[in-house]
Structure 1
């Protein structure tokens, strides 16, 4: 159905309170899933992020890239190994991880944002010792968990009008690096930055009461309900770390966190600028 000029005006009017509410506010976006691979969805996400900047918001992007790391490892004759969903990372795997995340994926995202008329710059957590981590488990090798975040570099870049794009790699304080789960960095970073909102782009609609029923999405979860949902098996598997990331964010000052379906075109705009929103919202 083609929108009339009045319909288009109505859409803009509906978005006005949200533009006002988010003006000059920080929004951390974890960019992952199929929306990074499908070229049309990728264009949609980038345009959403650029529009956010043009209407006065300060988006900060953290990206994933696990499947591409595994693909590159296999091309180089190295078999990916995982323990409890975390990549076992020796020194060679760490080199491949940095090459793929920062040397390839980060550069692509930055280039696409720049092409759409907004200044962007790529970073990893090692730049300026921005994200410090400690080893998570000796069995996992160079896999870390966030210990400290220094927001000075991001503060400076956002003040100068840039959109920072961050690879999930941290420093160890001794010149080395750690592979970090991108969801974890997103939640910790949103809290450290005092972001108004955290958005996780995923390949699912959100938290589902019944994974086989598309109409069973849970639109709102409070932090004190999360344990019960996990115990009942509603939040399970790969959704657990995503919900934990949201929990960490909203219990440390972030107003709202959202798990949204990146397979839907313009899912970010639908969440931020419409009354209905999409996905699952997590609040205190």
Structure 2
């Protein structure tokens, strides 16, 4: 009898959770949600399986998820195996022709197809593509200028085949979504002269979200989100808040380019960008379908 009561309590809890998700499902019905998938969530098999199930659930519930994935650790392992030594300039990896071949092989091959397989094993339909397919991601060579403090001379730093998005052709993505499938995108871009470029996954996801006029862009990371000076999560930030928090040292290090990139995406028309911890099981569902969320949402004031 006690066992039956416990079972009914569990069922009642499940029913309550599903019921509480209703207003959020209505908010996001038929909306595009772009998810940048990377970090530990991609490497841990249990988290990867949960991620695939969560993406399928979003699709079944009437949302239109689009996955853009990274793959830095996997690329590094393959470069080590092939004894390709990385070169860095100004903290960024230089992608020469040999490295670019490895990057494309790993991102567009093993990783992309593994994510597609996981989604399909979870009962969904997925189509894996790279930014080169259908000219999805037109990229331009990334260069940076540096001024020598001693001479005042300005130099241009060449990072090889590293690119940044110049244009996103969304037709192929709309075709995939209309066929009731989930696009899974490897961030490999194509230049105007046909050359191949390695594109940062966060940057690629932001460009895709902007071009698709997505409702949300979710950036899965290995941190909880933006933290205050007491290391507590800041759940809501506006674009207007960011310069002050950077200036006073609340936002530091690698989080600065991440929030600046998020702000640019918001200014381009995406309603909200969420930086969240992909190590938390079901973080995507918790962020989208519960009242509290689990990350930091960056949006325009009043949004």
TM-score by length of 1: 0.95
Greater strand proportion = 2
Residue 157 of structure 1 is matched in structure 2 by 176
Unaligned runs of 5+ in 1: none
Task: Tell whether 2:271 aligns with 1:252.
Answer: no
Alignment partner for residue 245 of structure 2, among 229, 240, 252?
229
- Is structure 2 residue 228 aligned with structure 1 residue 209? yes
Q: Pairwise mapping of residues 120-135 of structure 1 onto structure 2 (< 5 A)?
A: 120-135=126-141
Counterpart of 2:189 (choices 159, 166, 170) is 170
Secondary structure of 2:34's counterpart equals strand
Are 1:106 and 2:122 an aligned pair?
Answer: no
Once the two structures are overlaid, the 10-residue window that deviates more, 232-241 or 114-123, is: 232-241
Which of residues 173, 179, 202 in structure 1 aligns to 2:198?
A: 179
Q: Alignment partner of 2:21: what SS?
A: helix
In structure 1, the residue matched to 2:3 is: none
Q: Paired residue for 2:160? A: 141
Q: Deviations over 1:100-155 (max 9, x none)?
A: 11111001000111111211011111111111111111521111111111101001
Q: 1:74 maps to what in 2?
A: 80
Which of the pair has more CA radius of gyration?
2
Q: Deviations over 1:173-228 (max 9, x none)?
A: 21211111100011111111010011001100000113xx55x1111110011112
Aligned-partner SS, 2:265: helix
1:238 maps to 254
CA distance in 1 between partners of 2:269 and 2:46 (Å): 34
Residue 28 of structure 2 corresponds to 22
Q: Among residues 19, 31, 35, which one is paired with 2:41 in the alignment?
A: 35
- How many residue pairs match? The answer is 281
Distance 1:143 1:54 in 2: 36
Question: 1:64 Cα deviation (Å)?
Answer: 0.4
How far apart are 1:242 and its partner, in Å? 2.0
- CA-to-partner distance for each residue in 1:232-253, whole Å, 9 max, x for gaps? 2222222223212311221111
Shift of 1:84: 3.9
Q: Does 2:219 correspond to 1:191?
A: no
Most deviating of 78-87 and 133-142: 78-87
Question: Aligned partners of 2:11 and 2:85: how far apart in 1?
Answer: 55
What CA distance in whole angstroms lies between the structure 1 residues aligned with 2:197 and 2:127?
A: 21
SS of 2:158 mapped into structure 1: helix
2: CA distance, partners of 1:40 / 1:23? 28
Q: Output the aligned Cα RMSD.
A: 1.4
> Offset of 1:9 from its aligned partner?
1.1
The equivalent of 2:298 in structure 1 is 282
Distance 1:227 1:249 in 2: 16
Distance 2:70 2:91 in 1: 14
1:38, 1:145 → 2: CA distance?
29
Corresponding residue SS for 1:12: helix
Distance 1:8 1:77 in 2: 51
Deviation track 1:234-279 (CA, whole Å, cap 9, x = no partner) reads: 2222222321231122111111110111111000010011011111
Residue of structure 1 equivalent to 2:287: 271
